């Protein structure tokens, strides 16, 4: 490694300008390259067992197009954890360091195995692990300039799971090596203390409702995309019973954003009267698995 630098600081929402629950594009900011095109490609080609895991982070990037500063990995992962969970996919935070190495061997190390807070700023890098499908998700990988130039969007890759004795989802010190263009990306998993530094901190606790709400909205728009012609049949083959129940409950019902910018589906009640329901308000069969986190 030719040089090292401390991980970029990741702020929680308190220090940033307030954003709507479903982020809107901001014309003055540079767009992330090809976000919508990449998402459309995922919808068109993803296999049933991949479709939710792949589409969600790409949709998140598309929704925040031009509004994704280099300091929101914690916010992104907490939001996507809730979004995945609404569709029946278990996702958990995974604090990591990231070494990005070029073909010539030069590289940069981001993050810390012992991250800490300075006021409302967290020094570190965070990704997600999907235990049931053994996938690793880095939704904000393009915050790093050398990766952003390649223009392939969020990183989603298969990993070999190794649960540790203390119950961690991935053994601390485990390395996940993935390729992005000519770059070698080596993630090193931090220990449980690093995870506690996020989830037990007052900042994360204070904004938990906001992360959940934004996650529900992101999942709602994902569900709308998954019911499209040519996509729905594959989505119904995905190994997620909660997703199946939601697709059946929503059908082709229209949806809209209310004054609070929450996505609501227009569904009839038992008397045929129209009601506008958030995704987490839609009645589902009793046998439907509850949303994650539980």
- Residue whose pair of structure tokens reads 């890098």 in the numeric block: 125
Omega within 30 of 0 (cis) for the link into 293: yes
Tokens of 52: 């939710």
Tokens of 262: 């929450």
Contact 278, 264 (CB under 8 A): yes
The mean pLDDT value for 128-152 works out to 93
Name the helix (H) or strand (E) containing 117. strand 116-118
Residues 6+ apart with CB under 8 A from 273: none
Alpha carbon dihedral 18, 22, 25, 26, in 10-degree steps, equals: -10
| Distance, CA of 175 to CA of 163 (rounded, Å) | 13
175-211 pLDDT, tens digit each: 999 999 999 999 999 999 999 999 999 988 998 999 9
54-70 pLDDT, tens digit each: 999 999 988 876 554 43
Q: Is the pLDDT of residue 30 over 80?
A: no
CA-nearest of 226, 230, 211, 228 to 55 is 226
Confidence of residue 34 (pLDDT cuts 50, 70, 90): low
Q: Give the per-residue pLDDT at 164.
A: 53
Q: Give the per-residue pLDDT at 158.
A: 87
Q: Is the pLDDT of residue 142 over 50?
A: yes
**Dihedrals φ, ψ of 148, to 5°?**
-60, -35
| Distance, CA of 220 to CA of 174 (rounded, Å) | 34
Query: Residue 206 to residues 111, 200, 229: CA-CA distances in angstroms?
Result: 23, 10, 40
Alpha carbon dihedral 16, 22, 24, 25, in 10-degree steps, equals: 90
pTM recorded for the entire structure: 0.86
Q: Is 133 helix (H, G, I), strand (E, B) or coil?
A: coil
Q: Is the pLDDT of residue 138 over 70?
A: yes
The mean pLDDT value for 216-224 works out to 96
Looking at beta carbons, which pairs linking 34-39 to residues 24 or more positions away fall under 8 Å? 34/151, 34/153, 35/61, 35/62, 35/65, 35/153, 36/62, 36/65, 38/62, 38/152, 38/153, 39/225
Q: Is 37 helix (H, G, I), strand (E, B) or coil?
A: helix
Other CB atoms closer than 10 Å to residue 290's CB: what's the count? Answer: 10
């Amino acid at each position: 490694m030719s040089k090292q630098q401390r991980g970029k600081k990741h702020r929680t929402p308190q220090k940033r300008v307030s954003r709507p629950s479903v982020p809107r594009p901001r014309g003055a900011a540079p767009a992330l390259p090809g976000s919508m095109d990449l998402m459309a490609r995922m919808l068109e080609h993803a296999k049933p067992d991949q479709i939710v895991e792949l589409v969600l982070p790409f949709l998140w990037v598309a929704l925040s197009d031009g509004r994704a500063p280099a300091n929101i990995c914690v916010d992104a992962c907490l939001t996507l954890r809730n979004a995945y969970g609404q569709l029946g996919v278990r996702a958990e935070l995974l604090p990591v360091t990231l070494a990005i190495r070029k073909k010539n061997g030069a590289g940069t190390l981001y993050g810390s195995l012992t991250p800490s807070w300075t006021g409302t700023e967290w020094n570190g890098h965070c990704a997600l692990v999907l235990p049931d499908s053994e996938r690793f998700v880095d939704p904000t990988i393009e915050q790093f300039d050398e990766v952003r130039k390649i223009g392939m969007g969020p990183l989603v890759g298969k990993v070999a799971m190794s649960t540790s004795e203390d119950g961690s989802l991935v053994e601390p010190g485990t390395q996940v090596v993935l390729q992005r263009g000519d770059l070698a990306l080596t993630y090193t998993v931090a220990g449980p203390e690093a995870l506690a530094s996020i989830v037990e901190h007052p900042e994360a606790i204070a904004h938990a409702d906001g992360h959940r709400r934004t996650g529900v909205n992101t999942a709602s728009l994902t569900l709308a995309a998954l019911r499209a012609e040519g996509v729905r049949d594959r989505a119904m083959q995905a190994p997620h019973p909660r997703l199946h129940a939601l697709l059946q409950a929503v059908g082709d019902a229209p949806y809209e954003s209310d004054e609070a910018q929450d996505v609501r589906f227009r569904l009839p009640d038992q008397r045929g009267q129209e009601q506008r329901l958030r995704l987490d308000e839609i009645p589902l069969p009793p046998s439907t698995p509850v949303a994650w986190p539980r």
